[in-house]
Structure 1
Amino acid sequence: MFFSLPQQTSIAQILQFPPSYYPSSSPSLFHRNLNILGRHRKIAILNHGRIRSAIATMAAACSYRPPSIKFPSLADLSPYLQSEWRPILTGWLCSAVSVYSLSKLVPLAGQLSSSIAVSNLASLRNGALALGALLLIRIVANYLQQACLWDAALNCAYNIRVHVFDRVLQRDLGFFEGGNGILPGDVAYRITAEAEDVADTGHSLLNTIVPSVLQLSAMATQMLTISPQLSLIFCICKEVVIPAMALTVGCLGEKLRIISNEANLCTASLAAYLNEVFPSILFVKANNVESNERIRFLLFASADLSARLKKKQTKDIGKAYNELKQGEPAIERLFNLTLFKSQLIEKSDAVDLASVTGEVKVCGLYFSYRDGMAPVLNGLDLHIKAGETIALVGPSGGSILIDGCDIQNIRLQSLRRHVGLVTQDAVLFAGTIAENIGYKDLLSGVDMERVRFAAETANADGFIKCLPDQLAIARALYQNPSILILDEATSALDSRSELLVRQALQRLMQDRTVEVIAHRVETVLMAERIFLLRDGKLQQLSHSDLGSLASGLVI
């Protein structure tokens, strides 16, 4: 949804936008971005009492308080890292070789300088060859270490991305309709960009655990060899220095975790906004609100810039710990997509439908949009015979039976395999027209004969490129379902195209059960039986009755 605002009040009016239009950032960040815009437009926003109150309200709505627990996401990441134990173990072995070669390089370099001082050419030659060999071994070992650990980290991120995508596909439709406050652009950002952050975090973690311990051990050994006295002094000093450093790094790491989460939210909000505004550019231009959309973009972009600047200033201090803290919000946000309980639970004794004749029974169906509202459907009973076309007309618990089997007792995949759907909003997937029609068999191989038959049956073979609705009908026909649901399938068509579709539907109705949802009387009159839905009850009408009542009905 977009707003049409007068130019002279665009800044103040922005404060009336719902919180979902703003990045979920801290109050200070929200105030700062509005200050930036105020200075840019020469408007003293914060000096106005009503606007200041609106800012406080919006800031409270947009505030974010991260949890105080430490590394809660490592438990989620651990199983995926464990599955990559082979490249991880190989990388750590290469790290051990690298550290060992480094421990030999230092004393050998000292011996080489002594050989130069005494002009011992044989010893100098042997020492130089050994030094070069150790240096080459260290370079190769370092390369293999990084290659193996990156292989493990990227495979870990890949497996997480696949798991999250699978879980998102299993979520209920309400999740994709915006009821949970997560926009589709945010979901896409988490699965793409934030999965890369998880890979960076995993590599940093793997590159720190064993390699750092090995390097510290090698350094301690060298110190004891060179000067036991200095090593003793260092051990005394470390009791004070190391805890202080750990405390400082820990505080900065927790701060970076908050900043990183803020930056991720800002970037996700910016991506979601762009995914919203560009597909609706016709509406934006038609309402002459380009300037308003520019200001909205400035809000999102300035929030993203501010968060990234804060992140950049903090992350280089205590690099390893802070990189883990930086990636922790990405891990949390990714796995949050997998934490849900489906509202549609398949029964353990659900059955598969081998074949369907098309008989549908609706028994005692109740429905209301919200709790406390009058039911839209009140004990609805309806019997649709196989191959029969039924139309429901009337103002806009129970059960539905197909061939005598309650759909709640049918496995979902089996039910969907026998039901085709054509919606009001036609969806086009990337690919050819044939791939769009044969979408069901896209991976296993599209049957071109079925594609041609479906296109011809839908009267779409001649002009399918310019009419997505016909393509959507052909896609449903390609599935060859026993029951076909047409949800406003002809609402976006012109008169000529609708006539062609109705002719196609007449052919389809001869051997299929078709349920048509439509607002046009002509489409309803195609039904063999017509029922009036009024006060939650059904009353059968004749075609002539529909003609006399049509003016007072919402079809």
Structure 2
Amino acid sequence: MRTYLRLLGFLRPYGGRLAAAIACMILYAATSALSLGMISPFMQVLFERRAAPVSTAPAAAVAAAPARPRLDLGSVLPPRWRADADRLLLDARPLVALERICVVFLIVFLLKNLSDYLQAFLMVSVEQAAIRDIRSQLYAHLHRLSLSFHHGRRSGALISRVTNDVEYLRASLAAGISNLVKDSLTLAGCLFWVFFVSWKLALLSLIVLPPAALSLVIIGRKMRKRSSQAQERMGELTGILQETLAGARVVKAFGMEGFEQRRFDRANQGFYKAFVHLRRVSAAARPLSEYTIVLVAIGMLYLGGREIFVNRTLEPQQFMLFVGALLTTISPIKSLSEVNANVQQGVAAARRVFATLDTAPEIVDRPGAQVLPPLRDAVRYESVGFAYDAARPVLHDVSLEIRRGQVVALVGSSGSGKSTAMDLLARFYDPTAGRITLDGVDLRDATVSSLRAQLGIVTQETILFHDTVRNNIAYGLADAGDEAVRRAAQAAHAHAFVARMPQGYDTVIGDRGVKLSGGERQRLAIARALLKNPPILLLDEATSSLDSENERLVQEALERLMRDRTVLVIAHRLSTVQHADRIVVLDRGRVVATGTHGELMEREGPYRRLYNLQFVA
């Protein structure tokens, strides 16, 4: 219940529209009840007036004749309205009364259907606005969460949470408000007439409600469990789909289409079974409630018939009103039984969504965090240690200094901790031991935005978006002019191949830049970092995807643009770091050597061994 109440809290900003929708629901229920209540006077106008010929007997004899009992519907009205209703419908000539009651019917049903349309439109507006807010809040929170959260989860499962799980919330909100309020009020109006006609028959009809309600509660519990399982299977299915589509080149290259198809089919079959089990349970709710009402209606038809033909305690028009009201309860009760099913599915989805929203970001600004000014002195790693989990430390007691304007290279074999050390400077993670400072300020005491505003990053994995070349280069710099974009592309030696594209800088490069070669994607990423013109550059394998000629040209451009800037660069190909001011050699997360290229080559050690492996051999 707490989860569902939290979900309903997203409707609060739209209270005005929600109140208007509820007002329309109240009008709908009132006109529905009024249309039922008109059954009795309609039958009186049609049949009693026809069955009562004009009497020629003396007035005293007429007065002495017993009056035929009839339902006093006016008793539910104020006295003045009661007299007006009798005069309007019962005291007029039969044909005039019929015309009047038909006009009233038209007005009542016009109001009923108009209010139904308005409440449906308003509720869709409120419901979709709330879903939009939930989806937007969830997406924003996913970006606030640290990389450790994303690395521990399949992206497909997170995509499913934003799409499929939120869709379940939509159905739950619609059922929980629209159906619950409208159908509850409609049901109340029907039950009013049922009790008004014969409270004894009404009480008899309610005997079966407790066991029916208990069965719906049991079904609801099972549905919550089945719904959660179905949503988990959909997350797995979306994950496989996302992975295989993103890695289509690898799948084809290794001939794994059949394997991936079988893996997808297993996940697809798992979702099929989970969803069928869910529907098998949810499908029982509607027929169960309907059959219960039919049993009640048949019983009441029999008992009511006895009251007319045997006991003569009910008038035919009374009984018709009773039966009409009783049968009209079937539709709202069926809808209300589905409310529970939809709410249970929504609660299961809401728990998954709220579990993500309640996950606290690890990298946040501390209270009183300061805004970092541009780098003036140096970046320092002071006895830094880091572990993704306690059992597997990645960095051990790393200490190094990167002075302003220096180029410092991190070198080491794969898995030595180079990329992790760079990630710590970008504050994608925080050290588990020691600290990193910028001009003496611990990065954890500074705002994340002011730190990253000083960084330009080119990662080992080139990330481009399904957008134009211009927008990819100017990513994060919406006010960048065309000339600035062109100069950055020229500096990265990307302008030539961009100019050959059909729409030049307005060419859409496809998802992850699929229309470009690896070297072209790398150069656009470099151009993006150069356009930002940051004080600090982080280059992770920045030229590893370029051929030798373009690597030389890009390296020259980088050396020219890195003047008076601080650079931390990673490269497995040592030719790209030979001119660095200092080289830091990492081995199994520890600093094992530092110095210039010449100094490190003069002594035996891991750097010379790596160099010889690449060049001498």
Q: Same fold (TM over 0.5)?
A: yes
Q: Name which of structure 1's ranges 484-493 and 390-399 shifts more when overlaid on structure 2.
A: 390-399
Separation in 2 of the partners of 1:534 and 1:145?
67
Q: How far did 1:525 drift? A: 0.7
**1:243 aligned to which of 210, 216, 232:** 210
Q: How far did 1:110 drift? A: 4.2
Q: Does 2:320 align with 1:302? A: no
**Alignment-derived partner of residue 254 in structure 1:** 221
Q: How does 1:283-362 map to 2 (within 5 A)?
A: 283-316=250-283, 317=285, 318-357=337-376, 359-362=378-381
**Alignment-derived partner of residue 408 in structure 2:** 390
For residues 240-273 of structure 1, the C-alpha deviation after alignment (integer angstroms, 9 at most, x for no partner) is 4111011100111111111111111112211111
**Alignment-derived partner of residue 451 in structure 1:** 485
Separation in 2 of the partners of 1:107 and 1:370?
71
**Alignment-derived partner of residue 174 in structure 1:** 148
Structure 1: which 5+ residue stretches go unaligned? 1-70
Q: Which amino acid aligns with 1:552?
A: R
Q: Which amino acid aligns with 1:235?
A: L
Separation in 2 of the partners of 1:371 and 1:220?
64
**1:232 aligned to which of 200, 207, 214:** 200
Q: How far did 1:392 drift? A: 3.3
Closer/same/farther in 2, CA of residues 175 and 534 from structure 1, 3 Å limit: closer
Q: Does 2:543 align with 1:524? A: no
Q: Does 2:232 align with 1:275? A: no
Q: Name which of structure 1's ranges 78-87 and 241-250 shifts more when overlaid on structure 2.
A: 78-87
SS state of the match for residue 405, structure 2?
A: coil
Whether contact under 8 Å (1:358, 1:482) holds in the other structure is no
Q: Which amino acid aligns with 1:389?
A: V
For residues 466-499 of structure 1, the C-alpha deviation after alignment (integer angstroms, 9 at most, x for no partner) is 3111111111122221000001111222212211
SS state of the match for residue 525, structure 1?
A: coil
Separation in 2 of the partners of 1:490 and 1:365?
28
**1:543 aligned to which of 597, 612, 617:** 597
Whether contact under 8 Å (1:393, 1:553) holds in the other structure is no
Q: Does 2:435 align with 1:435? A: no
Q: Which amino acid aligns with 2:230?
A: A
Identity among equivalent positions (%) equals: 28
Q: How far did 1:408 drift? A: 2.2
**Alignment-derived partner of residue 498 in structure 1:** 551
Closer/same/farther in 2, CA of residues 193 and 532 from structure 1, 3 Å limit: closer
What do you get for the CA RMSD once the two structures are aligned? Answer: 2.4
Q: Which amino acid aligns with 2:140?
A: D
Separation in 2 of the partners of 1:259 and 1:375?
41
For residues 331-381 of structure 1, the C-alpha deviation after alignment (integer angstroms, 9 at most, x for no partner) is 111111112233334332321023333632222333456546677432x33
Closer/same/farther in 2, CA of residues 307 and 486 from structure 1, 3 Å limit: same
Q: Does 2:165 align with 1:194? A: yes
Closer/same/farther in 2, CA of residues 212 and 506 from structure 1, 3 Å limit: same
Whether contact under 8 Å (1:112, 1:127) holds in the other structure is yes
Whether contact under 8 Å (2:195, 2:202) holds in the other structure is no
Q: How far did 1:116 drift? A: 4.4
Closer/same/farther in 2, CA of residues 547 and 494 from structure 1, 3 Å limit: farther
Q: How far did 1:404 drift? A: 3.1
SS state of the match for residue 463, structure 2?
A: coil
**Alignment-derived partner of residue 134 in structure 1:** 108
SS state of the match for residue 459, structure 1?
A: coil
**Alignment-derived partner of residue 41 in structure 1:** none
Separation in 2 of the partners of 1:490 and 1:167?
33
Whether contact under 8 Å (2:454, 2:536) holds in the other structure is yes
Q: Which amino acid aligns with 2:396?
A: L
Q: How far did 1:278 drift? A: 1.8
Closer/same/farther in 2, CA of residues 91 and 551 from structure 1, 3 Å limit: same
Q: Which amino acid aligns with 1:386?
A: R
Separation in 2 of the partners of 1:291 and 1:426?
29
SS state of the match for residue 208, structure 2?
A: helix
Separation in 1 of the partners of 2:270 and 2:394?
45
Whether contact under 8 Å (1:358, 1:387) holds in the other structure is no
SS state of the match for residue 357, structure 2?
A: coil
Whether contact under 8 Å (2:8, 2:173) holds in the other structure is no
**1:99 aligned to which of 7, 26, 29:** 29
**Alignment-derived partner of residue 143 in structure 1:** 117
Closer/same/farther in 2, CA of residues 214 and 116 from structure 1, 3 Å limit: same
Closer/same/farther in 2, CA of residues 266 and 518 from structure 1, 3 Å limit: same
**1:400 aligned to which of 423, 436, 443:** 436
Whether contact under 8 Å (2:579, 2:597) holds in the other structure is no
Q: Which runs of 4+ in 1 moved over 6 A?
A: none
**Alignment-derived partner of residue 528 in structure 2:** 475
**Alignment-derived partner of residue 127 in structure 2:** 153
SS state of the match for residue 398, structure 1?
A: strand
**Alignment-derived partner of residue 215 in structure 1:** 186
Q: How far did 1:234 drift? A: 2.4
Separation in 2 of the partners of 1:85 and 1:275?
38
Separation in 2 of the partners of 1:151 and 1:504?
54
SS state of the match for residue 149, structure 1?
A: helix
Q: Name which of structure 1's ranges 454-463 and 394-403 shifts more when overlaid on structure 2.
A: 394-403
Number of matched pairs? 475
Q: How far did 1:143 drift? A: 0.7
Whether contact under 8 Å (1:435, 1:446) holds in the other structure is no
Closer/same/farther in 2, CA of residues 102 and 533 from structure 1, 3 Å limit: closer
Q: How far did 1:518 drift? A: 0.6
Q: How far did 1:400 drift? A: 2.3
**Alignment-derived partner of residue 10 in structure 1:** none
Closer/same/farther in 2, CA of residues 127 and 493 from structure 1, 3 Å limit: same
Closer/same/farther in 2, CA of residues 393 and 437 from structure 1, 3 Å limit: same
Separation in 1 of the partners of 2:236 and 2:523?
35
Q: Name which of structure 1's ranges 360-369 and 215-224 shifts more when overlaid on structure 2.
A: 360-369
**1:86 aligned to which of 16, 24, 46:** 16
SS state of the match for residue 255, structure 2?
A: coil
**Alignment-derived partner of residue 383 in structure 2:** 364
SS state of the match for residue 382, structure 2?
A: strand
Closer/same/farther in 2, CA of residues 129 and 524 from structure 1, 3 Å limit: same
Q: Which amino acid aligns with 1:199?
A: R
For residues 58-100 of structure 1, the C-alpha deviation after alignment (integer angstroms, 9 at most, x for no partner) is xxxxxxxxxxxxx452132132133332222211111111122
Whether contact under 8 Å (2:172, 2:342) holds in the other structure is yes
